[in-house]
Chains A and B, each alone.
Chain A
Amino acid sequence: MDSGTALGRVRGLGSARSGTRHWWMQRVTAAGNVLLVTWFVVSMIRLPNYGFETITGWLASPLVAIAMMLLTANVFWHLRLGLQVVLEDYVHNEASKFGLIILLNFYAVGGAAIAIFSLAKIAFGNAA
C-alpha cells in the first residue's frame, strides 16, 4: 500500500485538509475591504442622488471604475471565504456541505462576474 513519498501522503490531509492560506487570505481581503468598502460607502453618501445619469456618470469615470472592480473582486473573495467557514461549522452532512460549498463558489464567482461585466459595460459603452 505504501507508494509515494511521506510528504505526498500527508500534503493537504491535515485536520483542516489545508494550511493557513484560507485564514491569511481572509485577513488580507478584510484589510482591502476596510479601504475599499469604506470608500464606497462614503462615496455613496456623498452622491447628490441615485438617478441613472448620476450613477452611470460616476461609475464611468476611470478611477471609480477601477476601484469598483477591485472592490468587487475583494468583496466576493472575502464573502466566499467567510461563508465557507459558516457552512463548515454548521453543516455536518458531508454531501450537503460539499454541495453547498460548490453552490457558494457559483454564487461568489457569478456575482463578481455580473458586477465586473456591468462595470466594464458602463465604463466603456457609456451605458447604452
Chain B
Amino acid sequence: MPGDRTRPLSPHLQIWKWGPHMLVSILHRVTGVGLAIVGGLLFSGWLLAAASGGETYGWFLGLLTVESGAINIVGAVIGIGLSWAFFTHLFNGLRHFVLDTGAGYGLRTNRLWAIVVVSAAIVATLALWVWLLWGTLFSSMGAA
C-alpha cells in the first residue's frame, strides 16, 4: 500500500560495505546533480550577462575573478569542482555505455573500471589546473 511506513525497505547506503563500484555509482549522481544545478545556473547566468552588455558581464566576471583577471577563491572552488564533476561524470558515463551493452559486470572487471574512472577523473582535473595555472604564470612572466 502506498504510504504504509511499516513495509520492509531494501538495504540502503548505510547497510552496504563501501567499495569502488558503489563509490563511482554515488559519485555519478552527486556530480550529475552538481553539474545540473551549479553548472546549469552558471552557464545560463554567464550567457545572460554576456548578452546584457559589457558592464553586466564585467560584474558577473567580478564574482569569479580578481582585478587582474586571475580567478578568485570562489572561481577556483567552482572551477575546480565543476571540472572534477565534468571529468567524473563523463568518464563514468562512458563506462555506463559499456555496461549498457551487458559487458563489464564481472566482479573484478567492474571493480577495476570503477577505480580507473574515479582515478582518471582526479588525474585529469589535476592536469587541467596545473596546465591552466602554468599558462597563467608563463604569460604573466612574458608580460613582465
Chain A residues packing against B (C-beta within 8 Å):
27, 30-31, 33-34, 37-38, 41, 45, 49-52, 55-56, 59, 68, 72, 75-76, 79, 82-83, 86, 94, 107, 111-112, 114-115, 117-119, 121-122, 127-128
Contact = CB atoms under 8 A, between A and B. Distances in A.
A64 B100 CA distance: 32
A68 B41 CA distance: 15
A94 B69 CA distance: 48
B44 A115 contact: yes
Chain B: number of interface residues, binned into ranges: 20 to 34
Contacts of B113: none
**Interface residue SS majority, chain B:** helix
A55 B57 contact: yes
A82 B96 CA distance: 14
B90 A37 contact: yes
Given A115-B44, A118-B50, 10 more contacts: A30-B93, A34-B90, A50-B69, A72-B43, A79-B32, A111-B43, A114-B48, A115-B47, A121-B51, A127-B50
Given A45-B128, A119-B47, A86 B29 contact: yes
B26 to A, nearest CB: 11
A52 B40 contact: no
Contacts of A94: 2
Contacts of B43: 72, 75, 111, 115
